Amino acid sequence: MSVRLVASWQRSQDYGVSLEAVEPSFTGTLNDESLFFECGREVLASLHQTLINEPVSLMLTDADGLVLNRMSGDTSLLRALDAVHLAPGFAYAERAVGTNGLGLAIADRAPTVVRADEHYALSLCTYTCAAVPVLDPISGHLEGCVNLTTWSTQSSNLLLALAQSAASNTSAMMLARSRGQKARVPQRGEVFRVETSRLEPGTGSLADLGPAWADVLGRAGTAIRDERIVLAVGEEGAGRATVLAQALRQAFPRDRILAASPPAPQDSEAWLGLWIPELGKPGTSILVRDVDLLPEWVAEHVRDLVVQARVRAHGGDHVPFAMTASRFDALPPALTPLVDTIVAVPPLRERTEDVLPLARLAARRARGREVTFTHAAEAALRDCGWPGNARRLVEVVTQAARRSDTIDVRHLPADVVSGASRRLTRIETFERDEIVRVLTRPGISMKEAGEELGMSRATVYRKIAHYDIHVPRTT
C-alpha cells in the first residue's frame, strides 16, 4: 500500500469504522443550486453520453463527501451501489465509511484511485473508485469532487484520467461563468522569512488602524506571550496572517519569522522539508497559513512534529507556532488539539475605518511616493463591501496608483461602485462596466451619458438600479 492508503486505513481504524459493512449517514439535503453543481452536472452529463454502455457510475460529491448526483447506463451497477448506499443523499466521507476513493481524495485534496481490497470495508472491495477534488478557481476552496466508480474486475487504467479531465473541465467552466474574476494562483507552498516589507497590508500602519484590528492584535499577542498556539480565522484576505505576524514580531522582536503557505498536494513532502527542520530552533517563529487546505496526512505530520518540539522545549525555550484557517471547524482533525487560542479577524466590510489607511499605504508602495485620493474615490472605497477584503483593496488601489498620482473614482474598477449580489453574465458584466465607465467621467450629465450609451435617461436610471451602481460625485 502507498503511504496515503496506510494513513487512511489508520484513520479509519481510529474513527471506529466497521470492517464488514458501510453505514453512511443519510442527510437528504442537497445543494443543487451551487455553481459547482451546475457546472459539474453538465460536464458529467456530457461524459456520460460517451460512457453510456460502460459499467461506470459518474458522481459529484460536495466537500463533505455527500453524494449529489449519480449517472450510469449500467442498471446492475446502480443496484449494487444502492446496496452499499453510494447514492445521492448519503455521505461517503472517510470518517463514515473508511478508506474509499472519494473520501481519500477529499481528505488529501489530491487525485486518488482506490482499488478492490484497498478499501477499508469489505463490502466495498468489489469496486474500484477514482476521484479528483474540484477547487473553486477564484477562492481555491474545496467545492467537492468528481468520482468514477466501476467493478473491481474492470480495467481502471483510464478511470483516473477521465476523472481528472472532468474535474478540470468543471473548474474551467466555473471560471468562465464567474463574474470576470481572475483565477486563483495555484498553490506554490512558499516558505519565506517575514520582513516588515513582506507582510500583508496593515504592516507599518498600526497607529492608523481601528479598534477592531487593535483588539484582535492584542488578544493574539497576549496568547503568544503566554506560550499558546494561536489560530487566526476569518475570510480570505482579511489579514489573518498579518495580525499573527505582527503579534509574533511584537512578542519576539529579534526572532526570524518563517511563513509557510500550503503547497500543491503532490509537493507536500518537499514543502515540509523546507520549514520543519527550523521548528523549535532558538529565535525562530513559525506561521503556517491556510492549514485547512492541508491534506490529512500532512496535517498529521505537522501535529506530531509540533508536539515533539514542544515536549523537547518543556522547561526551556518557547516554540512559537501559529496558524491561519477560514474556520476552526474546517481544520483537519489532526490539528484541532494543537489550538490553544482562536482569534477571529473581522472582514474589511466590518472595519471601514481601516479602508483608507490601507489604501494610502498600498498606493504609496505602488507609486513610491504619496498619492492623493479625490473625495469621490474615498467615498467609493469606504462604501464598497470588499468581498475580497484587504487583498482585493490592495489590488484595486495598486492598479489605480500606477495610472495616476491622484486617484479618482474613474480609476477604480466597476465592481467597486456596484453591488450586484447575483452572478452576472458576460454580457451583463460588459454592460455594467460600460455604464460605470461613462458615469465616472468628470462633469458628465445623465443626458450625455444616455446619449453615449445609446439609452434613454429612463433606461440609464433603470440600469443603475438593476446593477446597484453608486457613483459618488467628484468634488
Confidence bin at 317 (pLDDT 50/70/90): low
Q: 420 by DSSP, 3-state: which? A: coil
The 10s digit of each residue's pLDDT in 216-259 is: 999 999 999 999 999 999 998 899 999 999 999 989 988 889 99
**Residue ranges of domains in the chain:** 3-176, 191-346, 350-466
Query: For 269-276, what is the mean pLDDT?
Result: 88
Confidence bin at 291 (pLDDT 50/70/90): very high
Residue 26 DSSP label: B
Query: For 403-426, what is the mean pLDDT?
Result: 80
Query: For 339-354, what is the mean pLDDT?
Result: 93
The 10s digit of each residue's pLDDT in 37-57 is: 999 999 999 999 999 989 999
**Strands (E) located in 122-189:** 127-135, 142-151
Higher pLDDT pick, 465 / 287: 287
Q: CA-CA distance, 21 to 341, in Å (whole number)?
A: 39
Phi, psi dihedrals of residue 473, rounded to the nearest 5° = -70, 140
Q: CA-CA distance, 60 to 88, in Å (whole number)?
A: 9
Beta-carbon count within 10 A of 156 CB: 18
pLDDT surpasses 60 at 76 = yes
Q: What is the pLDDT of residue 66?
A: 93
Beta-carbon count within 10 A of 189 CB: 18
Q: What is the pLDDT of residue 198?
A: 46
Beta strands 127-135 and 230-233, pairing class: unpaired
Cβ neighbours of residue 275 under 8 Å, at least 6 residues apart? 191, 258, 260, 286
Helices (H), 177-295: 211-225, 240-251, 268-275
Query: For 390-394, what is the mean pLDDT?
Result: 90
Cβ neighbours of residue 401 under 8 Å, at least 6 residues apart? 362, 363, 366, 367, 371, 407
pTM: 0.72
Q: What is the pLDDT of residue 231?
A: 97
Residue in the block written with cell 482506490 = 114
The 10s digit of each residue's pLDDT in 186-207 is: 666 666 665 544 444 434 444 4
Task: Give the end-to-end CA distance of the chain in Å, rounded to a whole number.
Answer: 69
Cβ(104)–Cβ(8) below 8 Å: yes
Q: 5 by DSSP, 3-state: which? A: helix
Q: What is the pLDDT of residue 463?
A: 85
Within 13 Å and on the Cβ side, how many CA atoms surround 336?
Answer: 8
Q: CA-CA distance, 263 to 190, in Å (whole number)?
A: 7
Classify domain 3-176 at the CATH superfamily level. GAF domain (3.30.450.40)
Residue 6 DSSP label: H
Q: What is the pLDDT of residue 207?
A: 44
pLDDT over 90 percentage in the chain: 50
- Of the listed ranges 102-106, 297-301, 335-339, 445-449, the least confidently predicted one is 445-449
- Of the listed ranges 36-50, 141-155, 403-417, 422-436, the least confidently predicted one is 422-436
Amino acid type, 388: G
Within 13 Å and on the Cβ side, how many CA atoms surround 326?
Answer: 11
The 10s digit of each residue's pLDDT in 20-38 is: 888 888 887 777 788 999 9
Q: What is the pLDDT of residue 140?
A: 80
**Host H or E run for residue 304:** helix 296-312
Q: CA-CA distance, 247 to 217, in Å (whole number)?
A: 6
Higher pLDDT pick, 217 / 446: 217
Query: For 134-161, what is the mean pLDDT?
Result: 89
Residue in the block written with cell 512578542 = 251
Higher pLDDT pick, 414 / 148: 148
Q: CA-CA distance, 430 to 419, in Å (whole number)?
A: 15
pLDDT surpasses 50 at 163 = yes
CATH T-level fold of 191-346: Rossmann fold (3.40.50)
Q: What is the pLDDT of residue 340?
A: 95
Q: What is the dihedral of CA 301, 237, 177, 458, to 10 degrees?
A: 170
Residue 427 DSSP label: H
Confidence bin at 181 (pLDDT 50/70/90): low
Helix axis angle, 426-439 relative to 457-466, nearest 10°?
120
Average pLDDT, the chain: 87
pLDDT surpasses 50 at 109 = yes
Query: For 165-180, what is the mean pLDDT?
Result: 86
- Domain 350-466 class in CATH: mainly alpha
Q: CA-CA distance, 234 to 263, in Å (whole number)?
A: 20
Beta strands 127-135 and 112-115, pairing class: antiparallel
Amino acid type, 359: A
Higher pLDDT pick, 104 / 451: 104
